[in-house]
Amino acid sequence: MARRKIIAGNWKMNMTPSEAVKLCAELKDLVKSDEADVVYCVPAIDIVPVVEAVKGTNVEVGAENMYFEEKGAYTGEISAAMLKDAGVKYVIIGHSERRDYFKEDDVLLNKKVKKAIEAGLTPILCCGESLEQREMGVTMDWIRLQIKSDLVDVTADQVKELVIAYEPIWAIGTGKTATTEQAQEVCKGIRDCIAEMYDDATAAAVRIQYGGSVNAGNAAELFAQPDIDGGLVGGASLKADFGKIVNYK
């Protein structure tokens, strides 16, 4: 069965609640699609108004982060159950900005992935190499390590529902997109890794996005690749261009 494309915006630390509601109204007609799942991953404070703003549309809402503990004394954190109750469907886990600026490691990310799944959320698990790693020729070794560590104790059935986002760090927010060949090669490498860890059916089911300077001009070529099932879009998800990316064909 063909995998359904999934095109997600990652708003990062942009959009106040009132700006968020305005953006949802602006994008509403532009992001209509019968062929792709469309997701807005938004700052925590925007979740409640955005869930309300996209009611009755084809857009689902995602969070950009969560904590793995059930509840309790974790000042400033947000639990999977809170996200679920607020109407969130997806949660980005392990974005390179969180790995880098907030020192999130694979042991922590594995706990977050498992908790998200347990709560009924779909993780968008991010992986990707730095420019130095690419130049050293260790891209695939690094990404395999991330995937294997982040998916410890996650079952094949759970992985089938998962979204993995390949985001080369050097392509994020830089305007420097990976070439189509580079993006396809790593997304295929991730699928091969899943096949080794689980089986062919699991590898064939898991959706793998590319992220890193995706825009209205390069989306069609990237998303046409056999192992690229859509995109995780930063900057271009905050403007009308996101509609063109969703309707890339």
Q: Which residues bind ligand 13P (CB under 6 A)?
A: 10, 95, 167, 172-173, 211-214, 232-236
Smallest gap from Cβ 27 to ligand 13P, in A, equals 16
User: Could you say which of 60, 64, 104, 167 is catalytic?
Assistant: 167
Smallest gap from Cβ 127 to ligand 13P, in A, equals 12
Q: Which amino acid is at 57?
A: T
Q: Which CB sits closer to ligand 13P, 235 or 243?
A: 235
User: Could you say which of 95, 97, 104, 129 is catalytic?
Assistant: 95
Our answer to whether residue 132 is catalytic in this structure is no
Our answer to whether residue 167 is catalytic in this structure is yes
Task: Please identify the residue of the shown chain whose CB is closest to the bound ligand 13P.
Answer: 234
Q: How many residues does the chain have?
A: 249
Q: Which CB sits closer to ligand 13P, 202 or 230?
A: 230
Smallest gap from Cβ 120 to ligand 13P, in A, equals 23
Burial class (CB in 10 A: 0-12, 13-18, 19+), 194: buried
Smallest gap from Cβ 247 to ligand 13P, in A, equals 17
Cα-based torsion angle of the residue sequence 42, 43, 48, 49 in order, rounded to the nearest 10 degrees: -70
Cα-based torsion angle of the residue sequence 248, 188, 139, 13 in order, rounded to the nearest 10 degrees: 40
Contact (Cβ atoms closer than 8 angstroms) between residue 133 and residue 142? yes
Report how far apart the first and last C-alpha atoms of the chain are (Å, whole number): 20
**Which residues have a catalytic role annotated?**
95, 167
